[in-house]
Structure 1
Amino acid sequence: MDTRIAQIGIFVEDSNATEEMNKLLSAYGEYIVGRMGIPYRKRNVNVVTIIMDAPQDIISALSGKLGMIKGINSKTLYAKV
């Protein structure tokens, strides 16, 4: 099955959403190449970047589920390789 490389940018605007987000990311862990989280205390937001190598439908499923979590804002960017 063909895979794509994608970056999911996540803004955690409500820290109560962190537990649900982490459970979801753990469920998709086999497809996650890397993860970086930066707390931006001045703005009271956490910025998380996820790099995935997965089939298109898996990336879309994770992205959609993240978007349904209250307090989280996310966007997905795909590589052309």
Structure 2
Amino acid sequence: MRLSDFWRNLEHEFGPRYSHVLADTLSLTELGSLTANEALNKGIKPKQVWEAMCRAQDVPVERWLGVDIEPKQS
């Protein structure tokens, strides 16, 4: 997962404003109580952070892959 995918999924799941609040404040126990932003800054992979956030916020597994992106028209 790219960092841009992480942010797109987070914003889609939690909204453009609340997602950034969560990334700054939600302590992720399974990542040593780091916030998402702290974990990303320490080099933890975005997919690992995203999945930790999903578990912490009880996001249904079927939504963990995020939204489908429409292909660009040529």
TM-score interval for Structure 1 and Structure 2 normalised by the shorter chain: 0.3 to 0.5
Higher helix share: 2
TM-score (norm 1): 0.34
Higher strand share: 1
TM-score (norm 2): 0.37
Ranked by relative contact order (alpha carbons within 8 Å, sequence separation 6 or more), the top structure is 1
